Amino acid sequence: MPKLTIGLVLPDVLGTYGDDGNALVLRQRARMRGLDAEIHSIRLGDPVPESLDIYTLGGGEDTAQILASKHLISDGGLRRAAEAGRPIFAICAGLQVLGESFRAGGRVVDGVGLLDATTVTLDKRAIGEVASEPTGAGITAELSEPLTGFENHMGATLLGESAQPLGRLTRGIGNTDEHGASEIAGDPRQEFAEGVVQGSVIATYMHGPALARNPQLADLLLARAQGVALADLEPLDIPAVTQLRAERLG
């Protein structure tokens, strides 16, 4: 039986908002297709294996972000995994930590640098439902279904030249409001942007957990991990997921 390894990165510090569920969704959807899928929890202080098939990171508070960034920079395993093209899925604080820098604890903190993005501060906390249409940027080219989640953040994430948004907003704040975007006014990529795509990294502000609310996105990660096209995966008919999406997007 084919085996799939899913890295749950730093759940002890980036597990505040239930984003550990993304790894559970990946494991279950893989097992439903006959794969022997296992989750490898990588805690603060543990080395990050560079040869897992998929990596997931969740959200957390300021202190947690600082600890996570310091560990991931010094360890280097996640960077090597990204350089090898292994899919990485990051949520909220995970998105910010993988960027060039972010604000936490009243100061600017160096990020891991896997995303050409910097996070400053929103004028007002973004909290509520968020939805977008996928841009099809980079490795997300096969996505066709709307994206849905719940945002709760104070970060204004600004994209550099090498990064592209995951989605174009139809609801919510997303990466930044006018206050944050004023630092780089005139860049159309910042307008109505949600999430970041760069290389093998897909990052977003969507909680939910995001992969429970966006099964096509979950399957895209599984397809990338196996080196196949999204269309090659056996479809899964799960009525409860269909109903959930209808409620959240309705």
Q: Please give the positions annotated as active site.
A: 92, 207
Phi, psi of 13 (to 5 degrees): -120, -25
Q: How far apart are CA 41 and CA 187, in angstroms?
A: 38
Tell me if 86 is assigned to a ligand binding site: no
Across the strands, what pairs with 104?
A: 107
Phi, psi of 67 (to 5 degrees): -65, -45
The residue assigned the tokens 């910042």 is 190
Beta strands in 160-222 (DSSP E): 167-171, 193-194, 196-198, 201-204
For the record, the structure tokens of 31 come out as: 């097992």
- Taking a C-beta distance cutoff of 8 angstroms, is the pair 161, 117 a contact? no
Cα 170 off chain centre by: 19
Q: How far apart are CA 159 and CA 183, in angstroms?
A: 11
Residues 6+ apart with CB under 8 A from 74: none
Known binding residues are 125
Known binding residues for substrate are 125
